Amino acid sequence: MVENTLTIQELEAAYLARYDLGPGYPQVPVADYVQSLYMDDTIEDLSLRFAPFWTPEKQAQVDEDLDLAVRRFLRVHVGVGGPVRHTFSGSIALERVLSAALREARKQHEFERLNVVTTTPCIDIMRLFLEERADVRPVFVRSNRGGVLGALDCDALVDRIANLKRQEPRNPIAVLITSPENPTGGCWSDADLLAVAGACADTHAVLLVDHAFAVAGVHDSTRLCRIWDLEELPCEWVAIWDTGKTFGLNEDKLGFIVCNGSAISHAVDEALAIVQFGVARRQRMFFAELLRRATYYGHVEDLRDVCRANLATAMELAPQLVSAAPQAGSLLLLDLKDLDLGDEDARGRLLDAGVGVVAGNVFFHDDWRPRHLIRVAMARESAYFADGIGRLLQVLGAPGR
């Protein structure tokens, strides 16, 4: 039987629901400057040219333009890391980075397995990618600090890293964290990131940070600490970002990787080189121009305003279901505890009635598996979002405002 994964639930919402609040990809009207880029036949023309018109210099220029555009958009200083690597999507970036960490680990003497310390809840592709590899063990640290569901627990993470090294001194470690976290919106502060980097340095672990939601959601993205903002970290690190949570373009998306440290950078390049052959020239040119324009037009702020307005709508229409407003990101957990209804039942009923959501339990990966949460995406056109939440309340029989 196929596991009922996040991806399957998102696809069902996208294909079957009149009100699709499932996938985290934005579904908001596409700005004119993006529409015109889709119509721009210069990119089409250049993407179909071959040598001798297409020279090695032009080939390199496409990558340089993309590197510059993504650095400007994300505010990654030119001095940080080598070139920003690109690949087909965030999932592929994550998968290749895990593969790179494993390549590095296998070089170590008497390697038995790689322990990958990560958080629960988090997106299930992390666990699913790890489980595909026989010589990798996922180790989950609960984000439940002080009994608050979703509260990231830096002390528990740092302790687990140190304990693992003590218990299994020969086995290498990788640490994989997400900020903002999906689905809770929890963020690691600069002090947290420094502490985790310190624990990684002490145990020779590589630090992998998924920043997919760094500029997508209700938060002020200029205040979120990203790993590339911190200077001279003591460990090797890799950061991932993808365009999908920030630009909803019906699966037109790219993934990016920023690496710091010569060994892991080399391993990432080796892992990426396995995937034939590279991202289409058309897409590299398109996204370089898209990111450039989006920086000038303030796309991140527009998306933030939509998410904030929709969060306010959800809190107004369904105050009894919103137990905590997310600190960051574009996803919202609704709490069904008072309705006495499980998440899978609620998802099934909602889907039958044309509302697509995700059942919360897919984000939990150890014995702690709450079943009273559903996830909705806030990056939606506002009237559509309000109608969707209204329908959701009706179907679940939840008291309205």
What is the binding site for ligand PLP (CB under 6 A)? 24, 89-91, 94, 123, 178, 182, 210, 212, 242, 244, 253, 255
The distance of closest approach from Cβ of residue 94 to ligand PLP in the complex, given in angstroms and rounded to an integer, is 6
Query: Do the Cβ atoms of 245 and 330 come closer than 8 Å?
Result: yes
Angle at alpha carbon of residue 228, lines to 227 and 229, rounded to 5°: 90
70 three-state secondary structure:
helix
User: Residue 115 or residue 246: which is nearer to ligand PLP going by CB?
Assistant: 246
The distance of closest approach from Cβ of residue 178 to ligand PLP in the complex, given in angstroms and rounded to an integer, is 5
Alpha carbon distance 366, 76 (integer Å): 35
User: Residue 94 or residue 306: which is nearer to ligand PLP going by CB?
Assistant: 94
The distance of closest approach from Cβ of residue 102 to ligand PLP in the complex, given in angstroms and rounded to an integer, is 18
User: Residue 193 or residue 318: which is nearer to ligand PLP going by CB?
Assistant: 193
User: Residue 7 or residue 323: which is nearer to ligand PLP going by CB?
Assistant: 7
Query: Do the Cβ atoms of 398 and 349 come closer than 8 Å?
Result: no
User: Residue 182 or residue 310: which is nearer to ligand PLP going by CB?
Assistant: 182
Helix H or strand E segment including 374: strand 373-377
**DSSP letters of 24-47?**
SS-BSPPPHHHHHHHH-HHHHHHH
User: Residue 34 or residue 94: which is nearer to ligand PLP going by CB?
Assistant: 94
The distance of closest approach from Cβ of residue 328 to ligand PLP in the complex, given in angstroms and rounded to an integer, is 12
The distance of closest approach from Cβ of residue 283 to ligand PLP in the complex, given in angstroms and rounded to an integer, is 13
Residue matched to tokens 């990788």: 174
The distance of closest approach from Cβ of residue 234 to ligand PLP in the complex, given in angstroms and rounded to an integer, is 25
Strands (DSSP E) found in 166-246? 173-178, 206-210, 237-242
First to last CA, the chain: 41
